[in-house]
Structure 1
Amino acid sequence: MTTTFSEGLQPPVIAGWTDPSALEPPPEDAGVLRRSRWLRQYQRGLVVADLASAWAAIAVAYLLRFGLSASAPLNALAAVLLPLGWVGLIGFNHGYGARLVGVGAAEFQRIFRAFLHTTALIAFISFVTDAEFARGFILIALPLALCLNLAARYTARKWLHHQRARGRAMKSVLLVGDAEAISKFSMVLRRDEYAGLRVVGACVPSEVIADMRTIDTLGEADVPLLGDVDSIVSAVRLSGADTVAVVSSGAIGPEKLRWVSWQLEGSSTDLMVSPGLTEVAGPRLHIMPVAGLPLLHVEEPKFSGFRRVLKGAFDRLVAAVALVLLSPLFVVLALAVRLTSSGPALFRQVRVGRAGSTFVMLKFRSMYADAEERLASLREQSDHGDGVLFKMRQDPRVTRVGRFLRKYSLDELPQLINVLLGTMSLVGPRPPLPLEVARYEDHVHRRLLVKPGLTGLWQVSGRSDLSWDESVQLDLRYVENWSLGEDLFILWKTARAVARGSGAY
């Protein structure tokens, strides 16, 4: 680790640390140039993928509607121009913006908006010019273009994730704020490698730069301390950063934050500011100008209304269909449990649901019949220490069949009955035990504002490998920002996580 200090401050003596002020800094804007290179290549690739998707959809629709006939000149012209207009409207909706690269849901929303705008534009042109496009051609071409384009974007995003998992196609980030906020933020970024942000250094307020606690905190987080906030420009050059992220604006104040933005003008270095609302994101946040001041407006989370009714109907419909389709598998799994260990096939346990109500949750039994009696003797061996949760990687109470069921989450399938009965949802926070709820801190009780889920963000973000704090943070993030679209995305990711069988024990 390396450390520099602004002029007038003497660095403390720390064994093994070297002041890099004597080192030759990288060329000016090296980080920006490096980011621009891979970003431009990726953006060009997206344009090619979008064009190819549109051309393929148009070709299929044209052949299905007209065959090889050339007797439809207007539609032939539309077939030539539509892909160009499609890509143009994606660009109009900022579908190639650097801030959306690899983001996922926001990127897919831009493609869907382009689909709506293309449909509206064709309808407008047809109305104004009396041009009669073949409806069958349009009805095939546009939905097919949307599907192919979403598939192409998904493939491109997975390629980008693969590159980032290998340390490529990353943005280099210099963090600004107090040591604790920098440490927490860097840990989040390291855990989510697909975010594409690599921490290359930190700047802290001048009054705490020589504090040993600051140095120790950043040292434990493995974040190089490159100076105080006043040396932000030299720190950007020294680290090769292309992005500056202010992670605790309260530590430097609004005047200093404005000064930082001025210092970065003309350098092509991005500036990001964390609002400090770790669980609130997405459509609930809006910047609103009031009396010339930019204010962050935070909408209330929605826990009732039409969306809640729609979610409940969707849950019950999917659960009913799944129970019918999976009934043969239920029989096989129940027999496997009964024939390999004594006890019932189903395990029943009281859990806490929405608003603190209790219900009986169903699972295929994955432990021996005396598992509850043996829990007290094993509690000290929990992989979560003295936390609320009890988890052991090599729990001796789990049967041989139970390990297989747990690895692929097959033991959770009977919870579809709970979903059908309305005590659980397909997606939601992890269903807690009453003893766990009794140990909740005040803010953790917000998990009980919605129904617990058969799966959730905790399931697709590490499963049993998550710490208690990480599990709580993910559940609260879901509660604060839930939507039916997010539920569908989590269900899709759950299928992939279960197929890999990682993080479950």
Structure 2
Amino acid sequence: MSQISQVLYWRFFVNLILMVVDGSMLVFANLILFMMEPFSYIPDDNGMVSELATGVLMLLLAMIYVACLHGVGIYHRHIMGDGYQVNYRIVGAVVRMFVIQAAFNYIFGLPLPLHIMVAAAMMTLVFTVVARFVARRVIAHRRGDDRFAYATIVIGSPDCIARTLGRLRQRTQMNYRPVAVCPIGVDPRTKAIVSTPIPDGLGIDDELVVLPYDADLGVTAVGMDVQTLLVCDVIRRDSVEFNVLSLAVESLGIELALAAGAADMGAHRLYLRNIQGMPVLTLRLPQYGFGTRMIKRGFDLVLAVAALIVASPIMAITAIAIKIDDGGPVFYGQKRIGLRGRPFHMIKFRSMVTNADELKAKLAEETGQTDRFIFKMKRDPRITRVGAFIRKWSIDELPQFLNVLRGDMSVVGPRPPLPEEHARYNRLYATRMYVKPGITGPWQVSGRSNLTAEESEQLDVSYVQDWSITGDLTILFKTVGVVLTHKGAY
């Protein structure tokens, strides 16, 4: 929660103050012009100056101006303390504001003359630039006191870490505050990325924590309230290692940044900054932002509650049918692996005989699926009569909405693997565990059991890299068609 609180502080409270200041600059500029030429503004019914209407107009224009500034990205956390990018974005926002004000003036027949609008725009530009200059000085001073800066882990070769730390100390506009380093190198025998010791005499601060390079680096960073992982070299942008690291940290809400020389222009959303001669390329998977994940969770809760209410009659009939069929238990709880490798019990309507798990190994060997992650076979002898029907129409999946309510699963996501399946994942395929498993997902709408193991793996990893709310909605709509056509259901 500490990490989330810090992020919310930066993205809300600090920007809220800046928004108020920016809007005030437009109001201040217009007040000066109003004092100079009051009759150029809104008159009342008697032809006199309407101070109330003029004040409302100024406040409305101030809100529009703040919206224009937001539209050009001035409130992004890497922009607000950067003089170069802030100033040219202010110019873009003022131009947008002038066009909107001119259109507003024309549509509503306001008497504001052109010279007043031009003067207001120019004064607003000057005042905003000055206000932002003061704000940058305050932010830079606070960063010297370890305020207004993001706790950062620097990862790379020891030499590059030392150079990067030196640059960060010299550049007050940089918003990275190193709290730990992770020295790495390439194993000459296996070519794998491994931890490496730091030689003496490099000038790396002894107060910085030295972290090992392992699969728990992201979790360790969260425990240290770190917001950014800055990669300076060794890990190539186009490598599997980078892909694994990116998903591991960004799925936890940690930003991944790279020195520009260590990255290409790949699929991530990129922010290139050149601050006092130090180019830094920040990479971001926007779908792992806090707001987007909260939207997804809210979407899951609403859909799960609605689905359980609507499907309750079907679920009641199904439970009775299963009980009558063979007298066994109605529900089947199976241990599955969820988000970041945490086990949970997935609930389904029982569609197989009670000793189905015991028969699985024998059937896998007979059908040649011992090396496949997802065991599926047509005309599976373990399936009961009722089970065949509810599997055909995916009714057996309905109790999983209870798992969604508990937070174990999402409505859309990769299927939750069995422990023995998860244990055999390679590092790339294991990235599918950086999101919650889902009731439906990419492989269910792309062929389901007809897919090969390689196709299923590719779909799951691609989903983790590229998922979005609109993509989830698309999968849900496709799921309806798949259920109705029974494609790949067995």
- TM-score range, shorter-chain basis? 0.3 to 0.5
TM-score between the two structures when normalised by the length of structure 2:
0.44
Higher relative contact order (CA 8 A, sep 6+): 1
TM-score between the two structures when normalised by the length of structure 1:
0.43
